[in-house]
Homo-oligomer: A and B are copies of this chain.
Amino acid sequence: MTEKKINQLSRMVDKIALHTSISVEDRVGLLELPYTSRFFEAGSYLLRDGDTPNHSGLLVSGLAYRHKIGVDGLRQIVAIHIPGEVYDLQQLHVATADSNVQTLTRCEVVTISHGALRRLAEERPSVAHAFFVTTIVELSMAREWMLNIGRRDARTRISHLLCEFAFRLDKHGLPPGQAYELPMTQEQLADALGLTAVHINRTLKILVNDGLIAHSKRGVTIPDWEALVTAAGFNSRYLHMSPPDAATGAAHLA
């Protein structure tokens, strides 16, 4: 097995291992899967609503977003995928996709056939468990987004998305701290939050004014994490990322 292959796939394993106690043996099992690697430019579709793929895609680098489009053409972004995530795991069990996944930046994607993944999951219960946990966490995030979109005002809503995003990224090898890039246009932010691009613009400005965020071109920095968390009413528990139910929320300091 090549060095590169190990590098790519081990990110998937690390991601899965976050949520579960996957054994060393199972990690090796994952690394022995046949795969192909490919790059996609920003804006490419990785999955389309209605598709019935026969392989799964692991996001190795870059960001992607999942969205639905209503009959009237209005778009709602329902999730953001970060490196280490398999964006179409669900198609292992339900043939057709219910939403689109589109690339936010240039992305590297590793493709593994459904057959290989299914066999693996059948042979190793802890892998099947890891897949299930991944889906449950997605569901939990979806529920929090509903609360966000349905019941919070624009300021809180944006703050919350920023908190979630920072938290998810900080937990995955990036330097812990308050600065990160968020490569979304204001229109994409609007579609994620159920608002208008114009209003995103104005509210972002308010957040900058209040000293909760600062932004360079296409990115955001967070000067005061605690202040933003308070403004957002953010509680990371729904991300299920702490060591099994320790609920300290400070596990990334270790």
Contacts and interface: CB of A to CB of B under 8 A. Distances in A.
Interface of A: 19, 50, 52, 66, 68, 70-72, 74-76, 78-79, 90, 93-96, 98-99, 122, 125, 128-129, 131-133, 135-140, 142-147, 149-152, 193-194, 233, 235, 237-238, 240, 244-245, 247
A72 B93 CA distance: 38
Copies in the complex: 2
Contacts of A94: 19, 133, 136-137, 140, 240
Contacts of A122: 125
Given A128-B128, A149-B146, A98 B133 contact: no
A231 to B, nearest CB: 11
B68 A147 contact: yes
Contacts of A144: 68, 98
Given A50-B247, A70-B233, A149-B149, 6 more contacts: A71-B233, A76-B151, A94-B240, A135-B136, A139-B139, A146-B146
Contacts of A193: 150
Interface centre among A19, A70, A136, A143, by most B CB within 10 Å? Answer: A143
